[in-house]
Amino acid sequence: MKTDSFKLRHIGPSEKDLQDMLHTVKAESMDQLIYETVPDDILLKNPLQLDEAMSEQEYAAHLLELAAKNSVFKTYIGLGYHEASLPAVIQRNILENPGWYTAYTPYQAEIAQGRLEALLNYQTMICDLTGMELANASLLDESTAAAEAMTMLYAGRTRDQKKSECNKFFVSEEILPQTLSLLKTRAIPLAIELVIGNHETFEFSSEFYGALLQYPGKSGEVFDYAAFVENAHAADIKIAVAADILSLVTLKSPGSFGADVVVGTTQRFGIPLGYGGPHAAYFATREEYKRNIPGRIIGVTQDTNGDRALRMALQTREQHIKRDKATSNICTAQVLLAVMAGMYAVYHGPNGLKYIANKVHTSATILSKTLSKLGFTQLNENFFDTIRITADADKIKTLAEAKQVNFFYPDATTVSIALNEATTVKDLNTIISIFSEASGKEAVVIRDISKEETSISQNLARTTDFLTNEVFNSYHSETELMRYIKKLERKDLSLNHSMIALGSCTMKLNAAAEMLPLSDPQWGNIHPFVPIEQAQGYQELLSKLEDQLTEITGFAGTSLQPNSGAQGEFAGLMVIRAYHESRNDHHRNICLIPSSAHGTNPASAVMAGMKVVVTKATDEGNIDVDDLREKAEKHKDNLAALMVTYPSTHGVYESAIREITSIIHDKGGQVYMDGANMNAQVGLTNPGAIGADVCHLNLHKTFAIPHGGGGPGVGPICVAEQLVPFLPGNPVISTGGDHAITAISAAPWGSSLACIISYGYITMLGADGLKNATEYAILNANYIKERLNGHYSTLYSGERGRAAHEMIVDCRPFKANGIEVTDIAKRLMDYGFHAPTVSFPVAGTVMIEPTESEGKAELDRFCDALISIRKEISEATKDNTNNMLKNAPHTLAMVTADTWDFPYSRTEAAYPLSYIAENKFWPSVRRVDDAYGDRNLICTCEPIEAYMEEA
């Protein structure tokens, strides 16, 4: 055994554990367990064709070699991406800290108050800068956020508008090209008609319901939109504005000139460019849209004691939960990046941000003047950071690249230069030297940019305060910020404390060796639109990752573009749609979806313009094949696709899967496989083998990208031969199939920086290690199933009685004792564990997925906790709610209070099992009241006065 093998670090159970666990599950060997679990007709005959696994050391050296193939130029391309300075204190204490990056989405609010507070800060920052009332806790990227604005306003048309032909959406020609491409993708299936034009000359008709403006425009020009917005509103047309977050420090907020929705990216608040992502986009709107807003919102509420507590607001209204009535499918967003951007604002505060924005703006102003002195014409009248110079683009490009500088060249005679936080006086002089060389004149040397200069006219300048809240005015030294971050981190239970057995979410190890390269500027500091030759390291890595994923799924091609699983679903369905259209099957629009599917499936189908037909499940939890056959037959002329999760969301490898996929193919449909459960397939079987045509993968589940508290995600789609030509493209950088659909996300390869993690995972595990990971995931699940046997009943299992990589545990019988599934989830906190998935896909149950990364000792502690809780349940009765389960979780304040009025001991409350003593985790608030917060919706930090009154 090679002891430097990464596999040994990634997989939890030891060789000795293996024997004990096989004994417990009554299997002779791993092979026998797998034989009893996975149907024979889909088992792969041959090992995956992947390179031999690298050790951690080999991988580190390999990545340095690849990184050296990226050329980090000084880049002034702009177009929504700018070099930014990530404060080291945030890099080290958040980005590089598993306490933050391994956290799950904060559904269990009592053990997530830290990231909830960080996100509330983020929302407050967005509301302040945009001048809006309500902001969500991030979206996938600016272009996606703009598309969400377009569709939210579409769904919110007035009744009269819905009755008439009101389906036009005006898009300013100043919009970023990637946003326009994405709007097209999202508009087509909903029959929204995009009208692109000049906002200064455009005249609305009653066919328009909304409009989108870019602020500042892509040219860099800052327009005064006030009159336009006023005219639009007079005609009942709603306005969305895509705004540059840093510019809002100096410019009038879109809220102040009447915008209904404001979107944008927070990348330039300290987040690495990462060749396209991940970055947090923001979405801010008016209170009246609170029920329609996509994504998640964090809100203030109270706990059992009436103390302030935070939680995800309007939780049950998270759009995709509305299934085919949803107007958005957003599930995973960009939480970790939102936390970082919010912290950037906490660290710099209003004065720091003003300093940064002024420096950028002053630099642009001085550069404009200096280049004018050299005889060049600068085209922008009012600008924040971007100037446009009339010059021979080819000539400038050659001179610039020789000095390792990138500008943007909109046409043959224009050079666009977008400055940023990291631009120094030296950089300005390099830019000037390029132009002086081009003009043959002597360079003027800039020495000082400390004196503020502005070129923004008074009517466009911001006059209002922002970030007045205490949190943005308290932590400006590194010591203070470090401690603030730590204070929040301590409130959150993450994988560095205990296992998080989140069914369907695969919370496995996010290895340090996979994460380390993310801190390297050779990866971090590459703009997504640089010439491809400058990103050779990325190109090599991304194309290898595409090949690896193609091999693992048994398909023919992969697109890394989607930024989440749900975005992958939409992408896959749009590719299917394009395929049908290429064959003149324009009418194929029926999508069959089993009743147990994740809410994003029907939501994505509707977004792709399909009609959802739900198929039944049998009592055993499998797809009812007869019902499926009947519905496929009934809709055979219009069948577009089946969406199926495999193994099923019930945690079973349905043995009829090949029959199911062939029924769909016989009727001319394509099969979409939701790949969230891919951790039960890798190396054993694959979507190709079960007969699917396209799947998405959640790289943030199966392929080791950390969950980040709810993002980032990467949701690539892998497709069969016939769908490869339609893989999504990008309007700036050539990528995708020969008949590529328009963009699915803003950047050509989506969140490239995060892709490095999955590349590391696959490269260090290799074919063998990947297969072992799947086997151990199955073993661990079956081990838990066996240990809980006799205490809890497990719903559904395969034909030979085995669970897949996860299982559903029934908690409904405990209602007889007055105990709800939520009580169990909260009580687990007292035992130091995060609850498994609650009430998906079956209400009143939990879904447990241990993953391969947990060893026997941790699995035993988790089972011991559940078994102990089971005993507590049997002692509970319906008419006495004063018990440990109903009162859970117990806080340190409760247990150390001078009075103790509960009918059980403090030890029983807080230390019910012996292992807890040496590793106690204290929930920071008592049980959180969701309904109270929803009735009194507050989604920003309270104003400073609220604190003063209290004091």
Ligand X SMILES: *Cc1c(COP(=O)(O)O)cnc(C)c1O
Residues that bind ligand X (CB under 6 A): 331-332, 504-505, 564-566, 598, 600, 645, 649, 674, 676, 698, 713, 715
Q: What is the spatial order of strands in the sheet that 557-559 belongs to?
A: 557-559, 717-719, 694-697, 670-675, 639-645, 590-594, 611-615
Peptide bond into 177 cis (omega under 30): no
- C-beta of 251 vs 705, nearer to ligand X: 705
Q: Kindly list the distances between the CA atom of residue 552 and the CA atoms of 542, 649, 719, 771, 883, in Å, as whole numbers in the listed order.
A: 15, 21, 12, 10, 49
133 burial (CB, 10 Å; 0-12 / 13-18 / 19+) is: middle
User: Side chain identity at 658, as an amino acid letter?
Assistant: R
Rounded Cα–Cα distance for residues 52 and 702 (Å):
20
Peptide bond into 39 cis (omega under 30): no
411 burial (CB, 10 Å; 0-12 / 13-18 / 19+) is: exposed
CB of 459 to ligand X, least distance (A): 42
Phi/psi zone of residue 839: left (φ > 0), alpha (ψ -120 to 50 degrees), beta?
left
The tokens for 556 are 């023919």
Rounded Cα–Cα distance for residues 561 and 752 (Å):
9
CB of 264 to ligand X, least distance (A): 21
CB of 563 to ligand X, least distance (A): 9
CB of 333 to ligand X, least distance (A): 8
- Which residue's entry shows tokens 């709107």? 285
Rounded Cα–Cα distance for residues 231 and 211 (Å):
12
- C-beta of 264 vs 715, nearer to ligand X: 715
Residue 618 CB coordination number (10 Å): 13
CB of 751 to ligand X, least distance (A): 12
CB of 232 to ligand X, least distance (A): 33
For residue 902, report the phi and psi dihedrals to the nearest 5 degrees. -90, 150
DSSP E strand boundaries for 93-224 = 134-135, 168-172, 193-197, 208-215
CB of 190 to ligand X, least distance (A): 20
For ligand X, the nearest residue by Cβ is 565
59 burial (CB, 10 Å; 0-12 / 13-18 / 19+) is: buried
- C-beta of 172 vs 506, nearer to ligand X: 506
CB of 700 to ligand X, least distance (A): 6
- C-beta of 538 vs 840, nearer to ligand X: 840
CB of 557 to ligand X, least distance (A): 21
Rounded Cα–Cα distance for residues 803 and 735 (Å):
40
- C-beta of 104 vs 383, nearer to ligand X: 104
Rounded Cα–Cα distance for residues 529 and 543 (Å):
17
Distance of CA 320 to the CA centre of its chain: 14
For the CA atoms of 27, 33, 39, 40, the dihedral, rounded to the nearest 10 degrees, stands at: -90
- C-beta of 172 vs 649, nearer to ligand X: 649
CB of 564 to ligand X, least distance (A): 4
- Residue count of the chain, please give it: 951
CB of 709 to ligand X, least distance (A): 13
CB of 649 to ligand X, least distance (A): 6
- C-beta of 356 vs 714, nearer to ligand X: 714
User: Side chain identity at 449, as an amino acid letter?
Assistant: I
- C-beta of 429 vs 567, nearer to ligand X: 567
CB of 291 to ligand X, least distance (A): 21
Structural contact between residues 492 and 282, judged by C-beta atoms closer than 8 angstroms: no
Q: Report the run of H or E that residue 211 belongs to, with start and end.
A: strand 208-215
Structural contact between residues 563 and 745, judged by C-beta atoms closer than 8 angstroms: yes
Q: Kindly list the distances between the CA atom of residue 285 and the CA atoms of 80, 152, 265, 651, 785, in Å, as whole numbers in the listed order.
A: 20, 11, 15, 39, 46
Rounded Cα–Cα distance for residues 304 and 432 (Å):
63
SS3 433: helix
CB of 597 to ligand X, least distance (A): 7
Rounded Cα–Cα distance for residues 918 and 908 (Å):
16
CB of 341 to ligand X, least distance (A): 20
- C-beta of 208 vs 570, nearer to ligand X: 570
CB of 391 to ligand X, least distance (A): 44
SS3 306: coil
Residue 650: half-sphere exposure toward Cβ, Cα within 13 Å: 22
CB of 138 to ligand X, least distance (A): 13
For residue 270, report the phi and psi dihedrals to the nearest 5 degrees. 85, 5
- C-beta of 550 vs 698, nearer to ligand X: 698
Structural contact between residues 810 and 793, judged by C-beta atoms closer than 8 angstroms: yes
Rounded Cα–Cα distance for residues 319 and 375 (Å):
55
- C-beta of 300 vs 848, nearer to ligand X: 848
- C-beta of 321 vs 399, nearer to ligand X: 321
- C-beta of 635 vs 700, nearer to ligand X: 700
Distance of CA 692 to the CA centre of its chain: 25
- C-beta of 598 vs 856, nearer to ligand X: 598
Structural contact between residues 336 and 563, judged by C-beta atoms closer than 8 angstroms: no
- Beta pairing, strands 74-75 & 405-406: parallel
CB of 691 to ligand X, least distance (A): 19
Closest to 204 (Cα-Cα) out of 174, 236, 246, 243? 236
- C-beta of 142 vs 806, nearer to ligand X: 806
- C-beta of 177 vs 565, nearer to ligand X: 565
- C-beta of 328 vs 780, nearer to ligand X: 328
- C-beta of 211 vs 714, nearer to ligand X: 714
Strand partners, 592: 613, 642
